[in-house]
Amino acid sequence: MGDAKMFALKNNLTQALAEFPLQAKIEDISEYNRIHASGVKEPPALILDGEVVSEGIVPSVEDIKRMLRNRNLLRSKLYRLRRILVPVDLSPASENALVYACQMAHLFDANIEVVYAMDSLFEGASPSPSGFLSGYRKTMQNEVDAFVRKATKGSNVKFSGSPASASETGSEPGSQPPWLQTNIVFGFPEEVLFDLSQKADLIVMGTTGRGDLTRKIFGSVSISLSKSAVCPVLLVPPHTTYTGFQNILYASNFDSLDPLTVKQTVAFARRFKGQLHFVHVGQPGEKGVDLEKKLFEINYVYADSEMPFIFSKVVGENIVESLHEYAFEHRIDLFVFVTHHRSFWDDLLHHSISKDMLLHTNTPVLVIHAEADVG
């Protein structure tokens, strides 16, 4: 308080609110404990809807107006992408997913939590004796830490080990991003990941693994993860090398072209300087696609003038095959699917042939959960 930059920030914010009116209250925060608890590292800072959107600088009036205009986008997990969750089972597939996550963490200045779920010791719902679990947990912690060190060798990630060792060393998440921590948890993978997804911004995981991890994630019991996780899920094929995402296919239908989800994907693609392909998938003779294209072109004028959106349609009895053909012809690096409750994509993503696509494609698949990805 009393700092010139603080006054300048408040003046710019007041002017921005006058030019972009909305019901809002400006609150000055000067108490050290509240500043520290908010996650602010360098004042002056601006917090909008509970999210730190600017710190260490005084954004212009136009910058603040853009933040206000996109305030829903700023709350999007995929947009802020600060905490990446990586489930591992010590397989090459999960190691490859971890390498992917580390590369993305550098780009997004995000933190990584590596999770190993211990479910083999469970009989029904009852765990083994606590003494044995404690010893086995320590053994697995050492194995997972060794696995992470090998996978991240040559990377800049700050490895803090288990939550206990991180607290002992005084290391804090985000202190020197990207920061990585390992976590050994007891429970069935689908339940553990669902619970952890509530605090994560993105799950990055391999599509095959030791112990048939994919069966647990996509099998009859736990296929719900890609549908119900409370954050986006990036599925990485085992032999895919991270090179960024130059061409991104957004598989669209009438439900999935809502403005916020498209904005999230556009912002995500721009971080990679990627070209977006909006591909409508339909049945032969489908009506209304021309109108959809016109509405799309009118509503999504925020495309980069140097890299406009590509709008296409694929038609076929086998939707997965049609998408693969398009991906091959246009060198697609990433598939994006948007799920809605009771939507067309529920049938696509959770039908048996779509599991073949997710498990056997050489192209990563990003699943965005429209209802759950803002919060």
pLDDT of residue 86: 92
206 three-state secondary structure: strand
C-alpha to C-alpha distance for 259 and 299, rounded to whole angstroms: 8
Output the six-digit token pair for 153: 């060798």
pLDDT of residue 50: 76
**Greatest pairwise CA separation for the chain in angstroms:** 67
pLDDT of residue 297: 63
Whole-prediction pTM: 0.75
Cβ contact 339:367 at 8 Å: yes
Total residue length of the chain: 375
Residues with Cβ within 8 Å of residue 324, at least 6 apart in sequence: 357, 361
Residues with Cβ within 8 Å of residue 252, at least 6 apart in sequence: 278, 279, 280, 281, 338
C-alpha to C-alpha distance for 356 and 335, rounded to whole angstroms: 14
pLDDT of residue 296: 63
Output the six-digit token pair for 253: 């239908």
pLDDT in tens, 327-338: 889 999 999 888
Q: Left (φ > 0), alpha (ψ -120 to 50) or beta: where does 109 sit? A: left
Residue listed under structure tokens 């971080």: 271
In angstroms, the Cα distances linking 100 to 94, 146, 290, 296, 300 are 10, 18, 38, 32, 30
Cβ contact 370:339 at 8 Å: yes
Q: String of b and e for 142-159 (b: at least 16 CB within 10 Å)? A: eebbebbeebbeebebbb
- Helix (H) and strand (E) counts in the chain: 16, 13
Do β-strands 45-48 and 51-55 pair in parallel, antiparallel, or remain unpaired? antiparallel
C-alpha to C-alpha distance for 42 and 36, rounded to whole angstroms: 10
C-alpha to C-alpha distance for 241 and 238, rounded to whole angstroms: 9
Residues with Cβ within 8 Å of residue 357, at least 6 apart in sequence: 320, 323, 324, 365
pLDDT of residue 151: 87
pLDDT of residue 338: 80
DSSP characters for 314-364?
A: EE-S-HHHHHHHHHHHHT--EEEEEE-TT-HHHHHHHSHHHHHHHHH-SS-
Considering only CA atoms, which of 97, 89, 73, 333 is closest in space to residue 233?
97
Cβ contact 331:297 at 8 Å: no
Cβ contact 361:326 at 8 Å: no
C-alpha to C-alpha distance for 248 and 312, rounded to whole angstroms: 13
The full set of domains in the chain, from first to last, is 4-69 (3.40.30.10), 80-224 (3.40.50.620), 247-369 (3.40.50.620)
pLDDT in tens, 76-129: 888 888 899 998 888 888 888 899 999 898 888 889 999 988 776 543 344 445
C-alpha to C-alpha distance for 264 and 367, rounded to whole angstroms: 12
Helix axes 319-330, 352-360, angle to 10 degrees: 30
Give the chain's residues under pLDDT 70. 1-2, 120-134, 160-177, 208-227, 253-258, 282-307, 316-317, 340-361, 371-375
